[in-house]
Amino acid sequence: MNTGIPLQYFLILATVMFFTGVYGFLTRRNLITILMSVELILNSVNINFMAFNRYLFPHKMEGMFFSLFVIAVAASEAAVAIAIIINIYRRFSTINVEDAHEMKY
Amino acid sequence: MINFNYTIWILLLPFLMFIFLGLAGHKYFPRFSGIIGTAGLAIITALSYITAYKYFFLTEKIDAAYQKITAANTVWLQLTDKLHIDIGILLDPISVMMLVVITTVSFMVHIYSLGYMKGEKGFERFFAFLSLFSFSMLGLVLATNIFQMYIFWELVGVSSFLLIGFYYQKPSAVRASKKAFIVTRFADLGFLIGILILSFNTKTFDFITLTDPSGSAIAQGSGIAFLGLSVMTWSMIFVFMGGVGKSAMFPFHIWLPDAMEGPTPVSALIHAATMVVAGVYLVARMFPIYSIAAPVALNVVAYVGAFSSLFAAVIACTQTDIKRVLAYSTMSQIGYMMLALGVSGYGGHDGLGYMASMFHLFTHAMFKALLFLGAGAIIHAVHSNHMTEMGGLRKYLPITHMTFLIACLTIAGIPPLSGFFSKDEILAAAFHHNKLLFAVEYAVAGLTAFYMFRLYFSIFWGKDTHYHHTPHEAPATMTIPLIILAIGAVFAGFIPFNELVTSDGKGFETEIELIVAIPSVLIGLLGIGIAFIMYKKESAIPDKLALTFKYSYKWAYNKFYMDEVYLFVTKKIIFRFISEPVAWFDRHIVDATMNSIANVTQNVSFRIRDFQSGQLQKYAFVFITGAIMLAILFIYLWK
C-alpha cells in the first residue's frame, strides 16, 4: 500500500489549495474568478477525502463516494452560478460584484 | 300602574332626527329639513304633554306624594358588582316639568327658525344641531343617575358650542363658541371631581338612592371631615361648580354674553330657557343632599346666586346691545333661582324656596324665550343689535311690540302676569330665611324692571330713527310662536306649582304674602317709572347721569372688567408664571434629553455603519479570520 508519497504531502497540497481559494474568494471582485476560487476550495477538500481514505481506511470506500458527490454538486453549482452570472451581466453589463448593489439599501 | 314605556321615544326620536338630518339633510332635502325637524319635535312635544298629564293626574300618589318612577333603565357600564353606570329615564315632578319646558320652548323655537333662518346657508345643519341639542337636554333632565347626567351635560355643552359657532366664518362667533366651551368645560372639571367624591363615599350613582332623605347615602360621608367641612359638603360644592359654569353664575358668567353671537333662536332656546337653567336643575335634583347633609354648600349656592343676580342686573342697566342686555338679565334671573334654592328647606312649607325656584324656572323659560324671540324679530327688521340705532318701532312691528311689552311686564313682576307669582314666592322664601339676601333681591327686582323698560322704551318709543329700509313685521312663522309664548307668559302663573312640584313631592298651601308682594310690585313700578321718564322721549337725563357717576358707569359699562381680569389671570399669571416655565422645562429638559439620546445614537451608528457594507466578501473575511483565530486558539492555547 505504500506508494512512497507520505500523507503529509497531500495535506500540504490541500492546505495550499484551500487558502489560495479562500484568498481568491475574499479578494477578487470578478464573479467568474470567485466561482473559480470556490471550485479550488472544493477540490482541496476532495484531495483530503481521497488521501485520508487511501491512507487511513484502505478497505473502505466512503471517502471516494464523498468525493464523487462533491464533484457532482460542484458541477451543478457551477451551472447554476454561471446562469446567475450571465443574468447579472445582462442586467448590469458587468460582472463586478461591487456594481451589483441595487437591493442593498 | 301606568305604562311609561313609550317615554324612551322622547329620548330616541330627537337623536334619530339628528342622525337623519345630519347625514341625509344636506343632500336630499335641504329645503324641507326644517319642516321635518319641526314635525319631529311636534311629536316629542305631544309625548311630553301626555307624559306630564299622566304623571301629574293619573299616577297614584303614595302618602300624598308624587313618587319617582324609573320608566326605563339599562346597565351601560359595569364597574363593580355594586357600582355601575346606567342609562335610563327617571320621571319625577321636576323632570316632567322640565320635559314640558324644554319641548315647548324648543318647539316654538323650531317654528320660529323656519322663518328666521330661511335662506341661510346651513339651514339643514341648523336643524340637525337643534335636534342634537333637544336630545342631549332631554337626556340630561331624564337621567336616572348622576353619571348619565354628566354625559348629557357635556353633550349639551357640545351642541351649545356648535350652535354658538353656527356662523363659523365670523371670527367673533368662533371666538365666542370656544370661550363658552372652554369656560364651561373648566367648570365641569369641578362637577366631575364632585361626582367622584360623592360616588366614592356613597358607592352609588343612582339618584333615587342618593337623594332618599332617610336613606343611607346621605348619612355616609357626612361624618368624615376635611378642612372643617364634611366630605359631602365638599362634593356638593364641587358639583355646584359645574352648575355655576353651565348656568353662567359669577365668576364663570363671562361666556354667556359672548354666546349671543349665535343665531337668535339659539340664544332663546339654549342661552335663555333651557341649557343655562341646567345648573339650577342640578342643584334641585341633588336638593335633599344639599339640604340635609351639606347646608354649608347650600349657603354657597344662595350667596353665589344673590351676588350674580345683583352683579348682572347692574351691568344690564348700561349695555346697549339688546341681546347682551337680555343675556345679563338671564344671568340675573338664574341668580334668583339659585338663591331660592339656597334659602329653601326640605319638605312641606319649608320647601317654599325649592318650589319657587322651579316655578320661576318655568315662567322664566316662557318670558325669556319670548323676549329673545322678540329681539330676534326686531333684529330681523332693523338689521342691527344696538338699541342706539332703534326707536319708534311700535308703529312698524305691532305684534312684536305687544308681545315684548307683555314679556317686560312679566319679568318686572306686575300682577297678574306669571313673573309676579314666581318672583313673589322667591322673595317670600328669602324674606323668611335671610333678610340680607331678601334686601339684595328686592333691589334686583327694581333694577330688573328698570333695565327691561329702558330696553323697551328705547326700542319701541324714544326718538324716531330714520331707517334705510322701512322695518316690516316678521312673517307668520315668527309671530305665531311669539303669541303662543306670550299667552304662556301671561297664564303660567296660575299653574298650582305648590301642589305639583315640591321638594318632597307632597303639596302644601301657599298664599300671597302682602308684606312682601306689595313692596315688590311698588319697586317694580318705580323702576318702570324711572325708565319711563328717562327713555320714553329722547332726553338728556341718561347722559347727564352717566356723566355724574362717570366712574361707576364706566365700570358697569365694561362689565366690571371681568373679561380683563380673566385675561390678566390667564395671560399674565398662568401663562407667564406656570406655562412658560413648564414650556421651558419641556423644551430644554425633556425634549433635550430625548434629542441628545437620538443624536448620540445617530452619531455612533454613523461611525459604525461601515461594518454593514453589504459586501459578502467582507463578511466572509471576518468569518474566516474568526474561524482561523479559533483554530489557533484550540490548537495552541487550549491544551
Phi-psi region of B463 (alpha: psi -120 to 50; beta: other; left: phi over 0): beta
HSE of B173, CA atoms in CB hemisphere, 13 A: 17
| Closest of B168, B147, B530, B498 to residue B352, by C-alpha | B498
CA-CA distance, B269 to B507, in Å (whole number)?
A: 30
Phi, psi of B85 (to 5 degrees): -100, 125
Task: Tell me the nearest-neighbour CA distance from B605 into chain A, angstroms.
Answer: 15
- pLDDT at A104 exceeding the cut of 70: no
- Is B621's Cβ below 8 Å from some Cβ in A? yes
Class of domain A7-92: mainly alpha
Q: Cβ(B160)–Cβ(B259) under 8 Å?
A: yes
Size of the A and B interface in Cβ pairs below 8 Å: 16
Residue B614 has its nearest CB partner, among A27, A34, A104, at: A104
Written as nine digits, the cell of B374 is 322678540
Task: Give the ipTM of the model, two decimals please.
Answer: 0.77
Written as nine digits, the cell of B166 is 353656527
List the single range of A65-74, B192-201, B603-612 with lowest mean pLDDT: B603-612
Mean pLDDT of B230-252: 89
Inspect the interface and report whether the beta carbons of A25 and B620 lie closer than 8 Å. yes
Task: Tell me the nearest-neighbour CA distance from A59 into chain B, angstroms.
Answer: 30
Mean pLDDT of B331-358: 88
Percent pLDDT > 70 in chain B is 97
Inspect the interface and report whether the beta carbons of A26 and B621 lie closer than 8 Å. yes
pLDDT at B178: 92
- Is B620's Cβ below 8 Å from some Cβ in A? yes
Q: Residues B341, B346, B348, CA angle at the centre, nearest 5°?
A: 110
Inspect the interface and report whether the beta carbons of B624 and A97 lie closer than 8 Å. no
**Cβ contacts of B620 on chain A, cutoff 8 Å:** 25-26
Mean pLDDT of B390-410: 87
- pLDDT at B1 exceeding the cut of 90: no
Percent pLDDT > 90 in chain B is 36
Written as nine digits, the cell of B57 is 293626574
Q: Could you tell me the pTM of the whole model?
A: 0.79
**Cβ contacts of B622 on chain A, cutoff 8 Å:** none
Distance (Å) of CA B423 to CA B310, B403, B410, B518:
15, 20, 10, 12
Residue B614 has its nearest CB partner, among A22, A27, A101, at: A101
Written as nine digits, the cell of B358 is 322651579
Element (H, E) at B77: strand B69-78
- pLDDT at A85 exceeding the cut of 80: yes
Inspect the interface and report whether the beta carbons of B617 and A25 lie closer than 8 Å. yes
Inspect the interface and report whether the beta carbons of B624 and A26 lie closer than 8 Å. yes
Inspect the interface and report whether the beta carbons of A25 and B616 lie closer than 8 Å. no
**What angle do the packed helices B278-285 and B146-164 form, to 10 degrees?**
180
CA-CA distance, B341 to B354, in Å (whole number)?
A: 5
Q: pLDDT for B178-204, tens place per residue?
A: 999 999 999 999 999 999 988 888 888
Phi, psi of B538 (to 5 degrees): -60, 125
- Is A97's Cβ below 8 Å from some Cβ in B? yes
**What angle do the packed helices B123-142 and B146-164 form, to 10 degrees?**
160
- Share the mean pLDDT of chain B: 87
Residue B624 has its nearest CB partner, among A22, A34, A105, at: A22
Give the other-Cβ count within 10 Å of B224's Cβ: 11
Q: What is the DSSP letter of B506?
A: B
- Is A10's Cβ below 8 Å from some Cβ in B? no
Mean pLDDT of B307-329: 90
